[in-house]
Structure 1
């Protein structure tokens, strides 16, 4: 019994430790021909850490985002350093669903056995077209996919966690509501996590996965990912 209690406590400590994450913060609706801003932030969705405190960022380091347009074409977005975030902008030139992704390995200390990897995705809907809202348009090694532009309050939400292109079953997503409410939801056999939102507004989802590797200078990949979606 003591061993079981310790295991449960350790489980929740590990989950709680992932509260700080890298997010792509942006408006989930855009307009064709108008500049759209995307922020890279670290911390909590409503509490950004100063860049100097970011464990994964070095002064002067160039962070590049990938913009995937509705037609599947890609473009690199260069970020500029602000006080507590990195900023990138783009101008949508077509209607449909755009994805902006961050995917990078952090610097690993010499002889460290774990390689940390950051994944973050933002989905922006421009106009009423749904073209571009496809799993195949996102190439991150770990990401959460929302198949709708927005969801309804008190109606079930389904989110799918993908790891290396395949659904990740029996994994946990952390859901953060606009009210600050936090809930852990487990994916089913098909990698789908379901829950019913009680508030309107922007929600965030986070997940992390570890993978043993061979033939590299390290033994394990530790990947983390985040995304946001809207509830009306």
Structure 2
């Protein structure tokens, strides 16, 4: 009986890990920058919670052919030039003025996963100068996670994030919270697309929102029966 229970527990955990912690694309960047100083950016693909960063040559389909955009305050987005570093892409930008900058990626791979269309995205704010409420109104990606408080929180603080799509809230979206300690937990957003969680440890975190819809369509000339979207944001807890 103990053997059967142990086997059942193992299979349950395996299923939970495979279903909850799927691969994602995420941007890593310090939450604060300074005028006229170079600000470093890194883009990874893998599983953050297990510290798995895939070699670029092994990234799914053509995910590596993404475009990273910089949204400077009051200006049109511009592409950030990146360098292949083996297990990530690296780049930088130099803020010319104070304000909140956003780094953004949206990539739908050309290949389907069976009959499912996939879309990976990431959005990260960088505050230059005085910190204030993060204003995401100018960014309207197909799916994005918006930090509702500071991009640089304190350990033990209660934090909130909102999930939106094209500027509209996404109620009941699944949001996974991953800590660099290896801890991860899945939450469900409320009717306003907001999820609340506690910053249990200091260090870096990644939030990933995901949606799955059984709706037929066509992508790259190929028909699909369902679509999955996953969007991340990166922040730090002091």
- Could you state the TM-score of these two structures normalised by the residue count of structure 2? 0.82
Counterpart in the other structure of 1:146? 147
Counterpart in the other structure of 1:31? 34
Q: How does 1:21-100 map to 2 (within 5 A)?
A: 21-45=24-48, 46-57=51-62, 62-100=65-103
Counterpart in the other structure of 2:3? none
- How much is the aligned-residue C-alpha RMSD, in angstroms? 2.5
Give, in angstroms, the shift of residue 103 of structure 1: 0.4
Runs of 4 or more consecutive aligned structure 1 residues displaced over 6 Å after TM superposition: none
Task: Give structure 1 stretches of 5+ with no counterpart.
Answer: none
Q: CA 1:62–1:43 in structure 2 vs 1: closer, same or farther (change >3 Å)?
A: closer
Stretch deviating more after TM superposition (174-183 or 43-52): 43-52
Task: Give structure 2 stretches of 5+ with no counterpart.
Answer: 1-7
Counterpart in the other structure of 1:173? 175
For 1:28 and 1:79, the matched residues in 2 are separated by 19
Q: CA 1:112–1:198 in structure 2 vs 1: closer, same or farther (change >3 Å)?
A: closer
Question: Residues 22 and 120 of structure 1 are in contact (CA less than 8 Å); yes or no, is this contact kept in structure 2?
Answer: yes
Question: Residues 66 and 106 of structure 2 are in contact (CA less than 8 Å); yes or no, is this contact kept in structure 1?
Answer: no
2:122 to 116, 120, 123: 120
Give, in angstroms, the shift of residue 82 of structure 1: 1.8
C-alpha offsets along residues 158-189 of structure 1, whole Å, 9 cap, x if unaligned? 11111332212122211112322111111111
Question: Residues 103 and 120 of structure 1 are in contact (CA less than 8 Å); yes or no, is this contact kept in structure 2?
Answer: yes
- Could you state the TM-score of these two structures normalised by the residue count of structure 1? 0.84
SS at match of 2:19: helix
Matched length: 220
Stretch deviating more after TM superposition (165-174 or 43-52): 43-52
